Amino acid sequence: MKAVVIRRYGPAEVLHYEDVEQPKIEPTQLLVKVRASSVNPVDWKIRQGMLSLITGSKFPKILGFDVAGEVVAVGSGVTRFKPGDAIYGSTSLPGGGYAEFAAVPENLVALKPTNLSYEEAATVPLAALTALQALRDQGNIQAGQTVLINGAAGGVGIFAVQIAKALGAVVTGVSSTKNLDLVKSLGADYLIDYTQQDFTEGAAQYDIVFDVVGKRSLSTSKRVLKPTGIYITTLPTPEIFVQGILTAFIPGQKAKFILERPNTQDLVYLKDLIEAGKIRAVIDRTYPLQELAAAHTYSETERAVGKIAIAVTSPNQ
């Protein structure tokens, strides 16, 4: 099969499109013919070696956490899926989605939303699960609460705005001037153009500040958080670790970070919201698998609006 592999950590040039062996599945895995994947910042951070303490030094590696495709075989212990099922979901560390076939744990996937293409579905899992688990689990979001999303036009931000609205919150989206219309179309009640205004200097206060881009901290957001407000970030810095520990035991404002945990139950929850028309995918660009290096390079600019999709195989393959 064709796949994109790395044989060392480094720049985008270490991504090579080549022939590799098709993966063998374990009893609790599915063999999936991958129709599409996507690019998340964690993919190129792994490629650069930023997470080498976790991902190790064994090569070659196939990256890519998001997959959408068709089940072609199931392990002996699989009970929820059968060959022919259209699925979407996540691979396990360090990935495997940048290939024509992937071995995927049964408990990390769900049936694909019927109203999304494979490319659209592949942009959902990691980013939308991050948004859902940040707001629902870390933020304990409640209907009627006020939520600010910093980075509302990015890969996680687009889903955070929509999920917060679906859960009944009043949402303020922070983005650049050119993306304000998009953020509004996703359901944001209020908009802040960060090129014109620093949200931490505004008069409004929020129950939750979700800093998708990891550019702020509890310290800089204190003034715009309500007395019992929660600051959530996607970037687990040493400062956030310390603030998280300290605020966990002190009444008042809290600092938390989100580490996404892929699972079937939450993917089914997202599928229901998508099929109900409450969440949609936003794709900035779609690249073929053989142009993955260009896709990574674009993602590293951190200027993508929504998600970057990877077209892996077509239906006639």
Let me know whether 140 and 52 are in one domain: no
Let me know whether 98 and 154 are in one domain: no
Residue 258 CA to residue 247 CA, distance in Å, equals: 16
Let me know whether 105 and 224 are in one domain: no
pLDDT at 125: 98
**Residue 266 resides in a domain:** no
pLDDT at 249: 83
**Residue 317 resides in a domain:** no
User: Picking from 51-55, 99-103, 115-119, 213-217, which range would have the lowest pLDDT averaged per residue?
Assistant: 213-217
**Residue 61 resides in a domain:** yes
Which domain-ending residue is among 241, 257, 273? 257
**CATH number of the domain that 204 lies in?**
3.40.50.720
Percent of the chain's residues with pLDDT above 70: 99
**Residue 267 resides in a domain:** no
**Residue 106 resides in a domain:** yes
Closest CA to 264 of 93, 3, 45, 81: 81
Residue 86 CA to residue 69 CA, distance in Å, equals: 6
* CB-facing half-sphere around the CA of 118: CA atoms within 13 A: 20
- The distance of Cα 290 from the centroid of its chain, to the nearest Å, equals 22
User: Picking from 28-37, 169-178, 308-317, which range would have the lowest pLDDT averaged per residue?
Assistant: 308-317
pLDDT 10s digits, 189-227 = 999 999 999 999 999 999 999 999 988 888 899 999 999
Let me know whether 134 and 252 are in one domain: yes
Residue 65 CA to residue 17 CA, distance in Å, equals: 17
Q: Is the pLDDT of residue 171 over 80?
A: yes
C-alpha pair distances (Å), 278 with each of 26, 127, 168, 180, 219: 36, 16, 11, 19, 33
Percent of the chain's residues with pLDDT above 90: 91
**CATH number of the domain that 18 lies in?**
3.90.180.10
**Residue 297 resides in a domain:** yes
pLDDT at 244: 85
Look up the domain containing 79 and give its range.
2-124+281-311
Let me know whether 193 and 295 are in one domain: no
Indicate the residue type of 245.
I
Q: Is the pLDDT of residue 97 over 80?
A: yes
pLDDT at 138: 96
Q: Is the pLDDT of residue 161 over 90?
A: yes
Mention every residue, 6+ apart, whose C-beta is less than 8 A from residue 245.
none
Q: Is the pLDDT of residue 109 over 90?
A: yes
Let me know whether 202 and 91 are in one domain: no
**How does the average pLDDT of the chain come out, rounded?**
96
- The distance of Cα 169 from the centroid of its chain, to the nearest Å, equals 21
Let me know whether 86 and 179 are in one domain: no
pLDDT 10s digits, 267-304 = 999 999 999 999 999 999 999 999 999 999 999 999 99
Let me know whether 113 and 148 are in one domain: no
Q: Is the pLDDT of residue 28 over 80?
A: yes
**Cis, bond preceding 262 (omega within 30 deg of 0):** no
pTM recorded for the entire structure:
0.96
Number of domains composing the chain? 2
pLDDT at 308: 98
**Residue 18 resides in a domain:** yes
pLDDT 10s digits, 219-252 = 899 999 999 999 999 987 778 778 888 788 888 9
C-alpha pair distances (Å), 294 with each of 16, 42, 56, 275: 12, 16, 25, 32
**Residue 276 resides in a domain:** no
pLDDT at 250: 86
Q: Is the pLDDT of residue 315 over 80?
A: no
Residue 1 CA to residue 158 CA, distance in Å, equals: 33
The residues that bridge with 17 in the sheet, in sequence order, are 4
Let me know whether 120 and 144 are in one domain: no
Q: Is the pLDDT of residue 24 over 90?
A: yes
Let me know whether 132 and 252 are in one domain: yes
Let me know whether 179 and 235 are in one domain: yes
Let me know whether 101 and 55 are in one domain: yes
pLDDT-derived band at 153 (thresholds 50, 70, 90) equals very high
Averaged pLDDT, 170-174: 98
Mention every residue, 6+ apart, whose C-beta is less than 8 A from residue 159.
124, 127, 128, 130, 131, 132, 279
